[in-house]
Amino acid sequence: MSGEAIAFYVLAAVTLGSGVVVVTSPNVVHSAVALVPTFLGVTGIYVLLSAEFVAVIQVLIYAGAITVLILFVIMLTEGGTGIRARQRNEQGAIGAAVAAAMAGLLIAVAVRTPWARLPGTLPTYTPGAIGQSFLGPNLLVFEGTSVVLLVSLVGAIVIARKEE
Amino acid sequence: MRAAILIPLFPLAGWVVNGLLGDRWGRRAVAWVACGTVVAAFAVSLAVLARLLALPPGARSAAVVLYEWIGTGSVRAPLGLLVDPLSVALALVVSGVGALIHIYSVGYMAGDEHIARYFAYLNLFMASMLWLVLAGNLVAMFIGWEGVGLCSYLLIAFWFTRPPAAAAGVKAFLVTRLGDVGFLLGIFLAFAVFGTTDFTAMARAAGSRLPLGGPAATALALLLFLGATGKSAQLPLYVWLPDAMEGPTPVSALIHAATMVTAGVYMIVRMHAVYLRAPLALDVVAIVGAATAIFAAAAALAEPDLKRVLAYSTISQLGYMFLGVGVGAWSDGIFHLTSHAFFKALLFLAAGAVMHALGGETDMRRMGGLAGRLPATAGAFAVGALALAGIWPFAGFFSKEAILSDAFRAGRVWLWAVALAAAGLTALYIARAFALVFVLPPGEGSAGPAGCREGDAPRAAGHRGLAPGAEVADPPPVMRWPMGALALLTLLGGALGWSAARPGVLARWLGPLLAPGALRSSEGTHGSEAALAAAGLAVAVAGIVLVWLVYVRRALRVRSQAVQTVLAHRFYVEDFYAAAVVAPVRAVARWAGGFDRAVIDGAVVGLARAIGGGGAVLRRLQSGYLRHYAALALVGVLALLAYWMWR
Amino acid sequence: MTWADLSLIAPELALAAAACAALLQDAWATGPALESRSRGPAAAWIALGGVCAALLLLGVRPAGAAQVGFAGMYVRDGITRVVDLAALAAAGLGVMLSPPYLERFRLPAGEYHALLLLSTAGAMLMGASRNLVLLFLGLEMLSFPLYVLAALARRSRRSQEAGLKYLLLGAFATAFFVYGVALVYGASGTADLSRLGRAPDVPLLHAGVAFLVIGLGFEAALVPFHAWAPDVYEGAPMPATAFMSVIAKVGAFAGLLRLFPQALPQLAPAWGQMLAAIAVATMILGNLAALAQSNVKRLLAYSGVAHAGYILIGIASGGPAGSSAVLYYLLVYVAMNLGAFGVLLLLERRGEEADRVEDLAGLLGRAPWAAVVLAACMVSLAGLPPTAGFIAKLYLFRAALQDHRVALALVGALTSVVSVYYYLRVASVALSAGAADAVAVRHSRFAGVGLALAAAGVLWLGIVPGAITALVQQAVQALR
């Protein structure tokens, strides 16, 4: 087993393990904090795939900003840090079965697919190249994303605005 | 010929005008508009008839194409009319009888506050029905086909505040829609086979496109016949028609006796070229017709409700028409359709006059001895009843004998025998009804099943039934005149079909259009004709005499309780329907609708236990059924994935 | 990017500009106050101007060969044209039918109209997608505003609940869509829809396609991804319900059209069967559940599920016949569904929405025109001639038969028989003479014109369908 493979399995285990904590912990703060290793595990996989820029963004935005934002929201909520909610319900068994079946099917898909090894080099994921792509071939997507963000802003304002 | 488009347009205009402005006008204006437009349609029909008569018999067919309606790829259907002897004959019957019933309605509905709505629906019905008979292709006909169904639903449920009326309307619509699925699929099949549904083109191409007795011809004929069984209340889809009697009586006369229910017969005659290629389907038509004729006649025998007797009688007579067309006697089918329109409308109008006089009573057990008090009504009813029973010289005699002899000459002796027996039953039930209503003293009714139906007229709050000393009188002239006109037609209508040398007037008029039917031996000698007619007449007279003996003279008594019970339950067919069809459909609907109620309630309760605390908002927001929805979606995901893996 | 590229998306740009104008006008009219006070028709006029401008820009472009822009991501062809028409019709009617309701229930007009326009632009982008990434973006641009619109009534808990449910389940479904995009990309090495036809036939591609169906099937409310629809339809403010009921279908089916008949013809037998099974389940469940509803919004929600099943018949049948039938049905559905909702929007029961069937009693006496429009739309939804719904179903069933999918046509025909029952119940209550005393009818000239347009569409597409038939036929000419 190559070093890269070992690194992948370790990162995957970290991601999955902390992900399980996120959805099972009875304490919301624990759940929020457990997001950090999940995001970092994904970051590691980006690095393994030589997508350094995305990895950096992942750390900055997700592991950094978003987790902090979530924690702020929890603390600003009345009694937020004290909420202990049971995360499991009567659907637990069904959920486990469905998840197992889904995993099995996806693994079967991956195994049965003949993976073609394409010749050539990976594209460069430098900030410059990404910027070129956003303002070049992906311009429409870039513009469209801004519209979606505008909608999110309007939506947040509509929902959070004070009553008159 | 383009003027023919005016025939359906006049009543349509009446609908628009009365529907929009009727509430603001007085009753007189509403009535004038409604009746005037139908009379105008009748006048235009007459004018078109004159134009056709001026043409040589071979050239009496004109297509009036308004514009290309549906046009994509292989599906093409213009919106157009076909003006030919058949459609004009039907247009005359529909608009003529329709006009009389409109006029009658003016008197019958005089006390109803929603008269504008009533006449608007009635006019819309006339427009749809006239469109149906004049349409030039199957798709265009389907517009009228659905239109008359819609109007029938609206008019049956006209007094929708009464639950039986609303339920009857729904039942009528659903059952006929079952048949319409067959009709719709038939249209598709016709497109597939012919590439068109134009009647003329299909008739021309039937010989080459449809192999004799082949699966395409049989399937097409049977699918269309399924539509006809729904619309024309044949076995097994007849169940809606008796309940349809919840509507106002003129509606029963117009829609559920004279016009709409005969649309199935008309459609088969219209498509006769296809049916000729499918002998098996024709046999099915004939057998279903004969079975319906005798079954419904028997059911009518045990019915205590006057209108329902007439409803079963209509079903039975429609069976005769299907028997006629089923043995290939196209023009005799149309002949019986026409004479039935006259005498059954007359019977309904007379029944309406009785109810008018008795404040909406329809239970014959509460009537009796009315002949003296309602002489005109009794006379009209007697004329209709004699025609229905098939007594010479009324129209019903000629048309029924024509069909009986056609069945006999076609070699279907069994069907002839069944139809003959049904003729005996017919005489029996209508004579019984006449005896109960007009002859016997009140309270002498037969022992029918308990539980009388809701009355007819909405103003029935006051006296119901025959109260001693109550004022009972013949209806006003506006109702009496249409009855008189129909009685005259019933007397003279026989001339349309019977003449010393067959074919009769109607058969010669339709002749160039209709390919000869499947009659095995068309040469019947005068001797055998006379013998057949004598047999039919003898059976009818025997039926009437039997009633006289059983009910009036009490010489014979039907003792068998079992026979009474079976008859009273109409052979249990409706009970079977309720158990086997209606109940499961209702149960499934309840289950599907109740499903998320159950999920929601279960989830809310479950979550209340799970959280215990938390704000009400939180509980509502996270009421838990989200996760049920998500689980449902996930199961769907799994199913899709599994499908792609193992397909 | 070139001017040619920009001119391609001119209709979408017009909508976005109008959306910004509506927001700014609102802000300017409101001033320093916390909550928008502009409930007048200004925002509606701006939005209507945007829609008209977009229609104009759509109209001036000659209907010629397909034009591709933005590095092959965006295509403007016949399908784009019809989808744009349907989306703009939905937006136009949505704008015209809403003002009385917005005013009465004090919803923020600026935001409402801006979100409506942006959602419309999203549906149009989906119809013009030639790339899975753009399709995904269109889906987001379509659904984000709908989430907010569902929650627009701040004082109503049901509305808030509807918005949250829609958002969470929508995110859930969209996640599958993105995953599907990734798997398809992994299998074929491209997200370009025009090159998927040459993708290797491997399990990875199949799994990706299955996931893509989930995202689109959720928006279209196909079984078993339909569960959100009744709750969200019922909880959302009625103008939002009306608009989302049509725009989500336009966008989702445009996406399905781009994805299946157009991009993956080589897998047609496989996805045809899958979609046929979904269509059958959707038609049966939607119609049966609708039978038991007494709330009109819920009834129309299940009816929307059922109609999604009908439209899917066209996709499953594929080919030009199926695709043109889908496009035709979308246009018809916009007119008839918005017409039906438009009448409900005029009603009010003691300060609440009048959304029970019995609230319609006696409508004929008080607002005869509205009652007639409602009846016409119900008859059309039921698929009876001579309305548009009949022709639309005729085309769909014919496409199914042409593709030898007899079972699909049969189930479609039988379930439409069932549907007649619940549609006509609504119509007959509206045409009846009773009276729902507590229900008031609001008259509005703006909404009146909208209703007239919807009714005219329902009748026009049913009685003289020639021109539109030609348009949708021309649109799918490029399909094999």
Indicate whether C34 belongs to any domain: no
Taking 80 as the threshold, does the pLDDT of residue B166 lie above it? no
The dihedral built from the CA positions of residue C451, C452, C457 and C463, taken in this order, carries a sign that is positive
Give the one of B606, B637, B642 whose C-beta lies nearest to A90's C-beta: B606
Confirm or reject contact between C406 and chain B (CB < 8 A): no
Per-residue confidence (pLDDT) for residue B443, from 0 to 100: 60
Q: Token pair of C284, please? A: 């049966």
Per-residue confidence (pLDDT) for residue B589, from 0 to 100: 45
Cβ contacts (< 8 Å) between C114 and chain A: which residues?
154
Per-residue confidence (pLDDT) for residue B408, from 0 to 100: 87
3-class secondary-structure state, position B294: helix
Best of A115, A151, A164 to substitute, by most chain C Cβ atoms within 10 angstroms, is A151
A141·C73 Cβ contact <8 A? yes
Per-residue confidence band for B610, with pLDDT thresholds at 50, 70 and 90: very low
Count of Cβ atoms closer than 10 Å to residue A159 Cβ: 15
Give the one of B624, B628, B634 whose C-beta lies nearest to A98's C-beta: B634
Provide the H-helix boundaries in B327-368: 330-357
Distance, in Å, from the CA atom of B297 to the CA atom of B430, rounded to the nearest integer, reads 10
B188·C213 Cβ contact <8 A? no
Q: Token pair of B294, please? A: 């005798």
- pTM, 2 dp: 0.84
Q: Return the closest-CA partner of residue C314 out of C332, C337, C302, C298.
A: C332
pLDDT tens readout for residues C42-67: 889 999 999 999 999 998 877 777 88
A105·B624 Cβ contact <8 A? no
Confirm or reject contact between B599 and chain A (CB < 8 A): no
DSSP string, A76-131: HSTTGGG-B-----TTHHHHHHHHHHHHHHHHHHHHHS------SPPPP--HHHHH
pLDDT tens readout for residues B181-217: 889 889 888 888 888 889 988 988 888 888 888 888 9
* Mean pLDDT, residues A36-62 taken together: 91
Q: Return the closest-CA partner of residue B390 out of B538, B203, B548, B524.
A: B538
- Across chain B, mean pLDDT equals 80
Residues 26 through 65 of chain B touching chain A, CB cutoff 8 Å = none
Indicate whether C166 belongs to any domain: yes
Cβ contacts (< 8 Å) between A108 and chain C: which residues?
203
Per-residue confidence band for B465, with pLDDT thresholds at 50, 70 and 90: very low
Per-residue confidence band for B579, with pLDDT thresholds at 50, 70 and 90: low
Taking 50 as the threshold, does the pLDDT of residue B467 lie above it? no
Residues 60 through 89 of chain A touching chain B, CB cutoff 8 Å = 85-86, 89
Per-residue confidence (pLDDT) for residue B457, from 0 to 100: 37
Distance, in Å, from the CA atom of C219 to the CA atom of C276, rounded to the nearest integer, reads 18
Q: Token pair of B262, please? A: 């005969």
Is the pLDDT higher at C35 or at C337? C337
Confirm or reject contact between B627 and chain A (CB < 8 A): yes
Taking 60 as the threshold, does the pLDDT of residue B557 lie above it? no
Cβ contacts of B400 within 8 Å, gap of 6 or more: B320, B336, B390, B423, B536
Cβ contacts of A36 within 8 Å, gap of 6 or more: A18, A63, A67
Distance, in Å, from the CA atom of C119 to the CA atom of C102, rounded to the nearest integer, reads 18
Q: Token pair of B581, please? A: 């069809």
Burial group, residue B416, by CB count within 10 angstroms (0-12, 13-18, 19+):
buried
The dihedral built from the CA positions of residue C167, C172, C175 and C176, taken in this order, carries a sign that is negative
Count of Cβ atoms closer than 10 Å to residue B516 Cβ: 11
Q: What is the DSSP letter of B135?
A: B
pLDDT tens readout for residues C443-457: 888 899 999 999 999
Report the chain C residue with the minimal C-alpha distance to residue A142: C137
Residues facing residue C75 across a β-bridge: C68
Provide the H-helix boundaries in B302-412: 306-326, 330-357, 375-389, 395-409
Confirm or reject contact between C269 and chain A (CB < 8 A): no
Count of Cβ atoms closer than 10 Å to residue B28 Cβ: 9
Burial group, residue B542, by CB count within 10 angstroms (0-12, 13-18, 19+):
middle
Q: Nearest CA of chain A to the CA of B594: how many Å?
A: 21
Confirm or reject contact between C204 and chain B (CB < 8 A): no
Per-residue confidence (pLDDT) for residue C451, from 0 to 100: 95
Count of Cβ atoms closer than 10 Å to residue C271 Cβ: 25
Distance, in Å, from the CA atom of B623 to the CA atom of B611, rounded to the nearest integer, reads 10
Report the chain B residue with the minimal C-alpha distance to residue A88: B610
Report the chain A residue with the minimal C-alpha distance to residue B635: A98
* Mean pLDDT, residues C1-15 taken together: 88
Cβ contacts of B62 within 8 Å, gap of 6 or more: B1, B82, B83, B84
Q: What percent of chain A has pLDDT over 90?
A: 43
B150·C384 Cβ contact <8 A? yes
Confirm or reject contact between A144 and chain C (CB < 8 A): yes
Cβ contacts of B222 within 8 Å, gap of 6 or more: B182, B278, B281, B284
Confirm or reject contact between B642 and chain C (CB < 8 A): no
Q: What is the DSSP letter of C65?
A: S
Indicate whether C322 belongs to any domain: yes
Q: Nearest CA of chain C to the CA of A58: how many Å?
A: 18
Taking 60 as the threshold, does the pLDDT of residue B577 lie above it? no
Cβ contacts (< 8 Å) between B70 and chain C: which residues?
391, 394, 465, 469
Count of Cβ atoms closer than 10 Å to residue B220 Cβ: 29
Q: Return the closest-CA partner of residue B400 out of B315, B340, B487.
A: B340
Is the pLDDT higher at C310 or at B502? C310
Per-residue confidence (pLDDT) for residue B501, from 0 to 100: 55
Indicate whether C157 belongs to any domain: yes
pLDDT tens readout for residues C175-220: 999 999 999 998 888 899 999 988 888 999 999 999 999 999 999 9
Residues 119 through 178 of chain C touching chain B, CB cutoff 8 Å = 157, 160-161, 164-165, 168-169, 172-173, 176
A105·B631 Cβ contact <8 A? no
Confirm or reject contact between B143 and chain C (CB < 8 A): yes
Indicate whether C258 belongs to any domain: yes
Per-residue confidence (pLDDT) for residue C183, from 0 to 100: 94
Confirm or reject contact between A106 and chain B (CB < 8 A): yes
Best of C402, C422, C461 to substitute, by most chain B Cβ atoms within 10 angstroms, is C402
Contact B419, B536 (CB under 8 A): no
Distance, in Å, from the CA atom of C226 to the CA atom of B484, rounded to the nearest integer, reads 61
Give the one of C211, C410, C420 whose C-beta lies nearest to B173's C-beta: C420
Is the pLDDT higher at B363 or at B314? B314
pLDDT tens readout for residues C214-249: 999 999 999 889 889 988 999 999 999 999 999 999
Count of Cβ atoms closer than 10 Å to residue B471 Cβ: 8
Per-residue confidence (pLDDT) for residue C129, from 0 to 100: 95
Taking 70 as the threshold, does the pLDDT of residue B460 lie above it? no
A89·B606 Cβ contact <8 A? yes
Per-residue confidence band for B629, with pLDDT thresholds at 50, 70 and 90: confident
Indicate whether C36 belongs to any domain: no
Domain count for chain C: 1
B70·C391 Cβ contact <8 A? yes
pLDDT tens readout for residues C96-129: 999 889 888 888 888 999 999 999 999 999 999 9
Distance, in Å, from the CA atom of B18 to the CA atom of B123, rounded to the nearest integer, reads 9
Q: Return the closest-CA partner of residue B35 out of B488, B482, B486, B485.
A: B482
Contact B79, B49 (CB under 8 A): no
ipTM of predicted complex: 0.91
3-class secondary-structure state, position B582: helix
Confirm or reject contact between A137 and chain C (CB < 8 A): yes
Indicate whether C35 belongs to any domain: no
Per-residue confidence (pLDDT) for residue B587, from 0 to 100: 60
pLDDT tens readout for residues B307-360: 989 999 999 999 999 999 999 888 889 999 999 999 999 999 999 999 888 888
DSSP string, C391-455: HHHHHHHHHHHHTT-HHHHHHHHHHHHHHHHHHHHHHHHHHSS---TTEEE---HHHHHHHHHHH
**Phi, psi (5° rounding) for residue C69?**
-145, 180
Q: What percent of chain C has pLDDT over 70?
A: 96
Taking 70 as the threshold, does the pLDDT of residue B520 lie above it? no
Contact C119, C166 (CB under 8 A): no
pLDDT tens readout for residues C321-355: 899 999 999 999 999 999 999 999 999 888 788 88
Taking 50 as the threshold, does the pLDDT of residue B618 lie above it? no
Report the chain C residue with the minimal C-alpha distance to residue A155: C148
Residues 596 through 625 of chain B touching chain C, CB cutoff 8 Å = 596, 617, 620-621, 623, 625
Report the chain A residue with the minimal C-alpha distance to residue C74: A140
Size of interface B-C (CB pairs under 8 A): 161
Q: Which domain holds residue C12?
A: 3-29+41-479
Q: What is the DSSP letter of B247?
A: S
Give the one of B624, B627, B638 whose C-beta lies nearest to A105's C-beta: B638
pLDDT tens readout for residues A84-132: 667 677 777 888 888 899 999 999 998 988 887 766 677 777 888 888 8
Give the one of C324, C409, C428 whose C-beta lies nearest to B160's C-beta: C428
CA distances to B242, B300, B582, C308, C309 from C420, rounded to whole Å, are 22, 31, 16, 16, 16
Per-residue confidence band for B473, with pLDDT thresholds at 50, 70 and 90: confident
Cβ contacts (< 8 Å) between C413 and chain B: which residues?
181, 184-185
Q: Return the closest-CA partner of residue B406 out of B335, B325, B340.
A: B325
Axis crossing angle, helix B330-357 with helix B375-389, rounded to the nearest 10: 150
Is the pLDDT higher at B388 or at A50? B388
Per-residue confidence (pLDDT) for residue C112, from 0 to 100: 93
Confirm or reject contact between A108 and chain B (CB < 8 A): yes
Q: Return the closest-CA partner of residue B316 out of B454, B430, B145.
A: B430
